[in-house]
Amino acid sequence: MTLTSTATIPVIDFGPFLQGEESDRDRVAQEIYQACSTIGFMYLRNHGIPVELLQQLLAQAQAFFQLPLDLKETVARSPDTNCGYIAVQTERLDPGQPWDLKEAFNMGLEVVWPPEPVTFQPVVSDFYRCCTEQVAPNVLRAFAMALDLPHHYFDDKHGRNYFLRMLHYPPVDQQPQPGQLRAGAHTDYGSITLLLQDDIGGLEVQTRDGQWVAAPPIPGTVVVNVGDAMQRWTNDRLSSTRHRVAVPTGDDAGRSRYSVALFCDPNPEVVIDCLPQCITGDRPRRYPPILMRDHLLSKLTATY
């Protein structure tokens, strides 16, 4: 498929939603709705995460992934909690393709922390708190406004099922298998995802007409995208879009890539059911109700 320009992924200033008048908040909410009902991805500026914290977080990701494999595997991922370390080529986000060329560390409320580096836990915990207590709830309030819901509609449906994922894509020093990528094409499982990228590109987003669009890092922004749960809630009004991380070429093939994603999943006992205002004569119900716990389990079972 053809890779096109970044023109279809908008950059939205979130500052007026956090600090402006009601009219400013409504305008930003409508910009977010426009992005999420078309491409399903956007860049947010003035999101509320301190720049220093973003820099510290990427430094901690690099330090952790540089540890010896046997030390990282002392905190290997538990299927019961989905927390812990995942080695290279032990996960495939596209079940029909070879294993992904990446390693990861998942953190949630039941995380087991690695013993090293000693600065890892405090920095990662600070970032997790910032995203889960401030940034993600505010973005979800913008979604609620855009959908003509009470501003705090999503508040009590989230909070105990956030997962932070640190990712390392090692240098590609041999020819990948046919169809093998750094991260296979997939959609995310929850409501929204916040993504921090380093300065190495590779993220690509699939438009509704099947084109792959580059989503390179833009300084001062985080990427936000819609997940499957939000698409089900909105009866496909908002788009959970397939995305992937391509295998680099040229000089970038010899460089590591780091990113950090915060997956904002609804609480396990929440029933994901189409919102009444998203069901019309022209758009009948497209999904049956499902417990978030069951939805997430079905996705993870296919991944590992």
What CATH number corresponds to the domain at position 82? 2.60.120.330
Q: How many Cβ atoms are within 10 Å of 257's Cβ, its own excluded?
A: 24
**Residue 7: its pLDDT value, please?**
52
**Helix/strand number for the chain, H first, E second:** 8, 15
Q: Are 176 and 244 in contact (CB under 8 A)?
A: no
Query: What is the mean pLDDT of the segment spanning 213-235?
Result: 96
Could you check whether the bond before residue 284 is cis, i.e. omega within 30 degrees of 0? no
Per-chain mean pLDDT for the chain: 94
pLDDT tens for 252-291 read: 889 999 999 999 999 999 999 999 999 999 999 999 999 9
* pLDDT class of 2 with cuts at 50, 70, 90: very low
Decide: helix, strand or coil at residue 300. helix
At residue 33's C-alpha, the angle toward residues 141 and 13, to 5°, is 75
Which residues lie closer than 8 Å to 135 by C-beta, 6 or more apart?
A: 47, 48, 49, 194, 222, 262
Look at strands 257-264 and 221-226 and give their pairing.
unpaired
Q: What pairs with residue 42 in β-bridges?
A: 224
Distance, CA of 43 to CA of 20 (rounded, Å): 19
Q: Is the pLDDT of residue 176 over 90?
A: yes
* pLDDT class of 41 with cuts at 50, 70, 90: very high
Q: Is the pLDDT of residue 3 over 80?
A: no
**Structure tokens belonging to residue 40:** 């399903």
User: For residue 125, which amino acid is it?
Assistant: S
pLDDT tens for 61-112 read: 999 999 999 999 999 999 999 999 999 999 999 999 999 999 999 999 999 9
| Phi, psi of 113, deg, nearest 5 | -80, 145
| Phi, psi of 125, deg, nearest 5 | -65, -40
* pLDDT class of 5 with cuts at 50, 70, 90: very low
Domain count, the chain: 1
Flag whether the pTM goes above 0.75: yes
Query: What is the mean pLDDT of the segment spanning 147-153?
Result: 96
| Percentage of the chain modeled with pLDDT above 70 | 98
In which order are the strands placed within the sheet that holds 84-86? Answer: 11-13, 41-45, 221-226, 192-197, 257-264, 162-169, 103-107, 84-86
In which order are the strands placed within the sheet that holds 243-245? Answer: 3-4, 212-214, 203-206, 243-245, 183-186
Domain that holds residue 47: 3-303
